[in-house]
Amino acid sequence: MLRDSMARRRRVRHPLLPHPEDWMSHSMSMTITPLNFLAGSQTLGYLNEGWTLDDAPHGSPERSFRSRVAFERAFTSTPLVHLGIAGFDVSNQDSARVASRVENVSPEGFDIVLGTWLHTRVWRVDVNWLAIGA
């Protein structure tokens, strides 16, 4: 009797899944778009036109600098971009305050935005970036 009950359980099939005996006769397919990776590094500083992060007048508000990065080859859609600060050179007269972010990401490129505030004087910032997309 126990043996009959176990045999019946083995024959019960889930309505959405093939029976294990039928696995070899079923196939599944899906399209996975391959990912593309692009990476780079950039040194931005007082030699770049428009750099104001080294100018800290008394009561200085936030200051920022923007630099456009053009990808070596365009993505087919907007990628995810990671940005990291690899190093910086700041005046030792005040605290080191440096912020970084990515803006205006498109399949062709993105903007690196660096900023500082108060009396911090930033002479140079080294950044690394990684773009991941299709």
State the Cα torsion 84-89-93-96 to the nearest 10°.
0
Other C-beta atoms closer than 10 Å to the C-beta of 3 total 7
The pLDDT score that the predictor gives to residue 14 is: 56
On the question of pLDDT at 13 being above 60, the answer is: no
Averaged pLDDT, 7-13: 56
The pLDDT score that the predictor gives to residue 64 is: 95
CATH code for the domain defined by 36-133 = 2.60.40.2080
Against a cut of 0.85, is the pTM above it?
Answer: no
Tell me the pLDDT tens digit for each residue of 40-80: 999 999 999 999 999 877 767 889 999 999 999 999 999 99
Q: Are strands 122-133 and 109-116 parallel, antiparallel or unpaired?
A: unpaired
Tell me the pLDDT tens digit for each residue of 92-134: 988 899 999 999 999 999 999 999 998 899 999 999 999 999 8
Q: Write the CA distances from 28 to 16, 22, 33, 34, 94, integer angstroms.
A: 13, 13, 16, 18, 62
Tokens at residue 17, please?
């899944």
In angstroms, how far apart are the furthest CA atoms of the chain?
A: 92
Averaged pLDDT, 26-48: 84
Q: Where are the domains of the chain?
A: 36-133
